[in-house]
Amino acid sequence: MNALQYWLEKHLVPVAAKIGSQKHLVALRDSFVGMMPATMVGAMATLVSVLIGTVPAAVQQFVQRGASDGSWTLSHTPVFEQLAGISNVVSQGTLTVIGLIFAFSWGYNLSKAYKVNELAGGIVGVAALISGLPNILSLATAGLSEKAMTTVNNNIAAQGIATWKMGISVAHMDSGAYFAVILMGGLGVVIYAKLMLADITIKMPDSVPPAVSKAFLAIVPTIVSVYAVSIIYYFIKVWTGNDMIFLISKYIAEPFQALSQSLVSVLIVTFFVSLFWFFGIHGTNVLGPVLDSIWGPLQLANMEVYNKVGLQGVNDLVAKGAIDKAHAIDGNFLTLWVRGSWDAYSSFGGTCGTLSLIVAILWFSKRDDYKTVAKLSVAPGIFNINEPVMFGMPLVLNSLFFIPILLAPMVSVTIGYVATVLHLVSPVVLSVPWVTPPFLNAFMATGFDWRAILVTAVSFAATFAIWFPFVVAANSLKEEV
């Protein structure tokens, strides 16, 4: 065990530390974190809309005091009707354009990493996305014959050029734009940042107000970066006949997301998150860019489907096999394992399921030092904050607990994964704050599927069974002073 720990400390930890401090990955992680307010607002709006539309019939009849024919819903009543409408508008301003929000967040944080004008960097990020969006006319006429296109053009001409307005596809501003934003937005912002650092700018006299001077400094880098990205968009379209965003989605995003649904992929990520934590490195932060860029968009896509069809509709889609894009039903499909699935079924008390360890210590431990740390860690653990137990016992670099730190989360993830794949519980369809207490987290994240509580309970019991033998073994070790 000591030899393995030494080898990992020598070869793995330095690599993980470099990854965790790499400025582009840090900026990407911070970009996803910075979007959390918009994501949470969108999740709340989705939740309100669905709850109003799916209130049990008995409650509806009690509120309405009649209309037992089933045609009435709570969303048809004053106040609730307006609340549902407002929530739809909120969702439109958050989840519908979450890719646009991410574009600004990515541009801002990447510019911050390069220590140049962050606001201009955010603008470059947005421009890089918008420049690559297909226009509505090209989408509507895609695949039409030459004769049909002639008819379309004649109709446009008949309307008069002054009355015809080209538009961009808002449908491509959602989470499906993430990979395009990361690649093309990142390229644009890096070009902008390099030019700023090379001082290829327009300098204004000292008498000019700082805000104006700062804006002028960014003009030339912004022009060059947006043009550079747009040139790529243009020639890719000319050479392939397809928009760049489609190509990125088809050949980069979809293969990664397809691989993400295998149990092997899920366990590999879980393993390394736990392994980094053992060495005192925040594994979730190190792998945050991977977790959020691959599994994050899938969760947002699930949220959109849940908003349209509700929990029963979600269960019906899963039962009919609509669990990937190839098997979509009426354009709707679910993804079984998403970003929030780890929080729902594994991270109770924090990474590695340390709340079950705390219970095991309070129940079985005879060591006063462990019990003291466990008592202090209960309150934070309920809200999934595990630093007190990680660094207080400590678990970090504690060879005795090396096996359960790796094994416990992999077992709990497997239980949650298998339960979801076997349709014993609904997939995660809502974004829930990570500090939401265990059991409640899974219940809310699955759109209030009560079965999620049972799955979490099984996962909790399994991790408890893994932790407690090592807690008992620690009783024979003397407290070091």
Distance from C-alpha of 244 to C-alpha of 470, rounded to nearest angstrom: 53
3-state secondary structure 14-37: HHHHHHHHCHHHHHHHHHHHHCHH
pLDDT attached to residue 327: 82
Q: SS3 for 329?
A: strand
Give the position of tokens 């070790």.
477
DSSP 276-307: HHHTT--HHHHTHHHIIIIIHHHHHHHHHHHH
Q: What is the pLDDT of residues 216-235, one digit of tens each?
A: 888 999 999 999 999 999 99
C-beta of residue 384 within 8 angstroms of C-beta of residue 350: yes
- Which pair of structure tokens corresponds to residue 62? 């009690």
Q: How far is CA 263 from the centre of its chain?
A: 19
C-beta of residue 406 within 8 angstroms of C-beta of residue 278: yes
- Which pair of structure tokens corresponds to residue 232? 């790529």
Work out the average pLDDT over 89-118: 91
Query: Which residues partner with 329 through β-bridges?
Result: 332
Q: Work out the pLDDT band at 57, boundaries 50, 70, 90.
A: very low
Closest Cα partner for 435 from 10, 116, 36, 127? 36
- Which pair of structure tokens corresponds to residue 464? 């408890």
Distance from C-alpha of 358 to C-alpha of 251, rounded to nearest angstrom: 45
Report helix angle 451-474 to 354-364, nearest 10. 50
pLDDT attached to residue 399: 83
C-beta of residue 447 within 8 angstroms of C-beta of residue 300: no
Sign of the dihedral defined by the CA atoms of residues 346, 295, 308, 312, in that order: negative
CB within 8 A of 96, min separation 6: which ones?
170, 173, 174
- Which pair of structure tokens corresponds to residue 15? 């690599």
Work out the average pLDDT over 157-172: 55
C-beta of residue 416 within 8 angstroms of C-beta of residue 346: yes
With a pLDDT cut of 90, the percent of the chain lying above it is: 36
Distance from C-alpha of 274 to C-alpha of 409, rounded to nearest angstrom: 8
CA dist 90 to 40, 85, 303, Å? 11, 9, 14
Q: What is the pLDDT of residues 346-377, one digit of tens each?
A: 988 888 889 999 999 999 998 888 999 999 99
pLDDT attached to residue 65: 47
Closest Cα partner for 428 from 408, 440, 446? 446
pTM of the model: 0.79
